[in-house]
């Protein structure tokens, strides 16, 4: 069994349990994914499968290396390829489809994505600095302040918190509970929030398995 899927974030909604408590839910279009390539311990040193996310719009002009790679599996080229560990790769074959029904309601999954980019931000927003006084004539509101001594060590230490690029990082949210799966529409509903904006790509994997980029 393949232990993960590639998906796209659809958005967030909410539900209610039997006691009337609000449950935040993220809707993910998980798959369908096709097995493009199998990795074996004898040849590659580890057992895994390379999955390709099947989308409505495929690759218009694939390169020659792409065409040759996908010809081996007899599938049309796709844009997103990722590798996932497989518990029984011998039973799988290239060209098979992996659907959202590999996940069960109530189990825990890890979701990996790219967080929203926020551009260049100062120390107050990026690191939570308190800032200076807000009264009139202060002239010190959101500045970082001193970044080092003038005598020793006469330099700025590596890792000093400063303004800079914020967001657009690889983030993994662990132990999200699967609320429901919809095999017909390829939808996966998990409890809680996942990184990224609507339409961003996500990697969903079962608890205890690693995800490798292709």
Q: Do 131 and 59 reside in the same domain of the chain?
A: no
Integer Cα distance of 81 and 163 in angstroms: 34
Contact residues for 69 (Cβ-Cβ < 8 A; gap 6+): 36, 37, 77
When pLDDT is cut at 50, 70 and 90, the band that residue 111 belongs to is: very high
Q: Supply the CATH number for residue 65's domain.
A: 2.40.30.10
Answer whether residue 58 shows pLDDT above 80.
no
Contact residues for 153 (Cβ-Cβ < 8 A; gap 6+): none
Q: Cα 193–199–201 angle (5° rounding)?
A: 75
Q: Is 186 left (phi over 0), alpha (psi -120 to 50) or beta?
A: left
CA atoms within 13 A on the CB side of 44: 11
- Phi and psi angles of residue 87, each rounded to the nearest 5 degrees, phi first: -75, -30
Q: Do 106 and 132 reside in the same domain of the chain?
A: no
- Tens of pLDDT, residue by residue over 24-37, are 999 999 979 998 88
Q: Do 17 and 54 reside in the same domain of the chain?
A: yes
Q: Do 104 and 51 reside in the same domain of the chain?
A: yes
Answer whether residue 212 shows pLDDT above 70.
no
- pLDDT for residue 213: 45
Question: Three-state DSSP class for 187?
Answer: strand
Integer Cα distance of 139 and 181 in angstroms: 55
> Which of these, 118, 113, 116, 115, lies nearest to 166 by C-alpha position?
118
Q: Do 206 and 102 reside in the same domain of the chain?
A: yes
Number of domains observed in the structure of the chain: 2
Q: Do 85 and 19 reside in the same domain of the chain?
A: yes
Q: Cα 161–169–102 angle (5° rounding)?
A: 145
Q: Do 63 and 33 reside in the same domain of the chain?
A: yes
Q: Do 107 and 127 reside in the same domain of the chain?
A: no
- Tens of pLDDT, residue by residue over 114-167, are 999 999 999 999 999 998 988 988 889 999 999 988 888 889 999 999 999 999
The mean pLDDT value of the chain amounts to 88
Instruction: Supply the range of the domain harboring residue 160.
Output: 122-167
Q: Do 131 and 148 reside in the same domain of the chain?
A: yes
* pLDDT mean over 58-65: 84
- pLDDT for residue 208: 62
* pLDDT mean over 175-191: 92
pTM of the model: 0.81
Answer whether residue 18 shows pLDDT above 90.
no
Integer Cα distance of 55 and 41 in angstroms: 30
């Amino acid at each position: 069994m393949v232990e993960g899927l590639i998906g796209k974030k659809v958005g967030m909604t909410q539900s209610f349990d039997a006691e009337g408590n609000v449950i935040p839910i993220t809707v993910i279009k998980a798959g369908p994914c096709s097995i493009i390539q199998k990795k074996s311990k004898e040849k590659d040193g580890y057992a895994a499968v390379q999955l390709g996310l099947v989308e409505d719009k495929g690759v218009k002009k694939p390169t020659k290396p792409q065409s040759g790679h996908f010809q081996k599996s007899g599938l049309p080229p796709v844009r997103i390829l990722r590798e996932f560990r497989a518990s029984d790769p011998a039973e799988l074959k290239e060209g098979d489809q992996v659907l959202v029904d590999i996940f069960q309601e109530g189990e825990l999954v890890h979701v990996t994505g790219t967080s929203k980019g926020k551009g260049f931000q100062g120390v107050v927003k990026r690191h939570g600095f308190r800032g200076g006084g807000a009264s009139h004539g202060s002239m010190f509101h959101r500045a970082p302040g001193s970044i080092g001594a003038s005598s020793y060590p006469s330099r700025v230490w590596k890792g000093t918190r400063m303004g800079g690029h914020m967001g657009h990082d690889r983030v993994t949210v662990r132990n999200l509970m699967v609320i429901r799966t919809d095999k017909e529409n390829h939808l996966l509903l998990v409890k809680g929030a996942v990184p990224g904006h609507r339409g961003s790509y996500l990697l969903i994997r079962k608890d205890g398995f690693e995800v490798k980029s292709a």
